[in-house]
Structure 1
């Protein structure tokens, strides 16, 4: 089967609206990529070495892909996932190609098709018959001129790329990139404190002790703990950070006085918290992170609603981020109220709310962002960053909050080569949605032309203070 990209892919079916969508898309297709939240390892760009092989690049590190193969019976060991790294890459690639049909209709399949055609000039869909031939074609391209990470960074027209980093990371990779005159991109660290603020994390005590040792303070002192986190945020800002990211189970915020928080912190360090006390302490720390953002200006992104490491057997064998994180129901209105009561009217505070529970878009997130100047609606994320889900998102939030309470597109990916495919998809889908409003007589053509440029470029710059 031949592999090709329809130039009008993702545009509306009816010709009149499709023409409007195409014209809107052409206005933004070549704009630079702003990627203010993602998980690409900055070392990839600092080292600037050739990618090792097709399986490592496109398959083994991408849990969107490996989880579906695993569901169909493939062993994660054979795919080189997590702690199974080192599996035969050609054998893993054969498994993927043999099961290419599993990705029909999925966002992963769409992005992969885009990459195979635009980067590797593939002319046929992956299959058991052509797996080795396709592997060799991609491997040859990986060693060719123009395919080193920094060359691709420029080819992709990435202007800003944010990473996600541990609070105690020395950020040496970021410093090296920032001081390298041969690299013209902007790679920003992001402060991610979850492992230091969630007492149910198995490494919580160890992490807090490391934080205290780094700060030269007593590990059991709550005030010193808070000051150490504040100090690390300042360090990140000095290295270019514009945001702090919080991946919490629920977006609970609790306004505790220092004495009560100190008691819970002491119990947390002793391993003596009940489940409810751990929940309250985590909620108090999310509240504290908002307070810090008011003070230091870091944009606060909240990514809740995911049951991390759902399969304990898979976690023990392969580690985290290996495909078994599952969405759970989420509520924002009551959970965020303590934080919003205290800080919600702060106009220089930017909080971006993400969700993988679609029911909250029109019921909670859009109404909240439609009132509080501090709140913005995060783009469809993770299980929802797919064509139909993106259109449902636009329909759910636009009628209440419009286009200017959103974050702009967020690719949130570890898969470096998929970044252009994901942003191109978002631009096409936004063009399609806005074109429908034009065709229905709900907005004018000039307004549509303004909107498509703003949601693609101006809005993420504004929301992430770029």
Structure 2
């Protein structure tokens, strides 16, 4: 094989069995035992962005770059920061030619050094070595050899999406979907006798709650048409959202996902909500009114979750499309979103005052501002039975950040008030690597508690298993 004949050109790609486990030999031995109990447990992915159509159609992946580079903004953003145009990486380019795919792959390999010390390096190495059997370190000299090896694998039926789903040990995979989506791919998968997996939609209504966004009135009209409800007034608009949520529940959804600049949930009087809504439909609502309406509607989303049972997840505090020219050229979700500070204690008080003790209401709160873990989120989850702290995600889904999260949250909220790991990825092949990273870090954290005699090892084993299996099932009602 190409990788064998060229092995002398490069040092071998080594994925160490003890990676991310504690350096202290005694604690590492405990962590190994804990990790051994969870390493092969099924993957539960209750928040992600893989397209259900990928598994329905089960077509071979086109090429290594389309699979591993272009869809993964964690990967492409660092290359962009190093001076590589996103277009050269296949972002926003549609189907890539063979030459374009090889160019994107070559750029990744030539600039492999930009990933040193990052979780992206961990994920990429795991994908290359454990999925595709690559034994060469990516570089300018090995790029073509690695590309050819992966391309040859992708031609094999064992590397099609459904086969990889089973190989990855995924038991549940949640997608993220527009409220107007017909969810036909989910329905077809569920009805397919040859399909043994579980893929569920997630209700994501952000664009319909933000009157200040361009195209909001047209989106609301489309929402009404899809729900077959007149959205000419506020009551019809609310009814349309409720109807579409029921449609998602009927197709297996367990959660509704929300991401705004903040999580203020200040209520409006019904007459004021109606006034702002009508003004927004005609483009006459000011910025402050639009923000007030969105905050009121986030409160309404919590009410609806109490009614229909969808878990409410929040991940605020990100300035979307920070670089406008990039958004104009490539669209959204290409790595140009940047975190901002966010406040939760006062912002969520109206919501929690009404629904925080409602039976069956689950509110999972994520953040990319780790300063609030111990100050706000852990205390909230340590009191309100509805609140769970979402594990680190996005800019914080990294080994050291996950460790800081556990240290910040556990003393106040324990393990039972957290969500279980989410991978939040569009890059299908990175799912097992991301979950494996979390399992290793959690094993290390628990091993330290065992070594300090703060937990017994059997107790720590139960916790490790529960964080992987029991907790996400409980929190996301799976």
Q: TM-score, normalised by structure 2?
A: 0.96
* Other-structure match for 1:285: 297
State the match for 1:28 in structure 2.
38
Correspondent of 2:324 among 294, 305, 312: 312
What pairs with 1:204-353 in structure 2 (closer than 5 Å)? Answer: 204-353=216-365
Q: Secondary structure at the match of 2:299?
A: helix
Q: Which residue of 2 aligns with 1:76?
A: 86
**Deviation at 1:145?**
2.8
Residues 50-89 of structure 1: pairs in structure 2 closer than 5 A: 50-83=60-93, 86=96, 88-89=100-101
2:16 paired with 1:6: yes
- 1:186 paired to 2:198: yes
**Given that residues 45 and 174 in structure 2 are in contact (C-alpha distance below 8 angstroms), is that contact kept between their aligned partners in structure 1?**
yes
The aligned residue for residue 141 of structure 2 is: 129
What's the secondary structure of 1:376's corresponding residue?
strand
Conservation of the 8 A alpha-carbon contact between 2:260 and 2:317: yes
CA contact (8 A) 1:365 1:377 kept: yes
Q: Aligned partners of 2:171 and 2:275: how far apart in 1?
A: 45
Distance 1:204 1:55 in 2: 35
Query: Which residue does the alignment assign to 1:18?
Result: 28
Shift of 1:376: 0.3
Q: Which runs of 5+ in 1 are unaligned?
A: none
Contact 1:366 1:397 in 2 (8 A): yes
The DSSP-based 3-state class of the residue aligned with 2:253 is coil
2:169 match: 157
Task: State how 1:282-431 maps to structure 2 within 5 Å.
Answer: 282-431=294-443
SS at structure 2 position matched to 1:151 = helix
Give the superposition deviation at 1:160: 0.4
Q: 1:249–1:305: 8 Å Cα contact kept in structure 2?
A: yes
User: Distance between the aligned counterparts of 2:227 and 2:128, measured in 1?
Assistant: 47
Contact 1:438/1:445, CA 8 A, preserved across alignment: yes
Measured on the aligned residues, the alpha-carbon RMSD in Å equals 1.0
For residue 384 of structure 1, report the CA deviation from its aligned partner: 0.3
Deviations 1:263-296 (A, max 9, x none): 1111111222222211111101100000000000
Q: Which moved more, 1:252-261 or 1:326-335?
A: 252-261
Distance 2:103 2:268 in 1: 54
Question: Cα deviations across residues 430-460 of structure 1 (Å, max 9, x unaligned)?
Answer: 0000000111111111211111111111000
> Within the alignment, does 1:45 sit opposite 2:55 as a pair?
yes
Structure 2 unaligned spans of 5+: 1-10
- The answer as to whether partners of 1:61 and 1:82 remain within 8 angstroms in 2 is no
Deviations 1:295-348 (A, max 9, x none): 000000001010000111001111111110000001000100000011011131
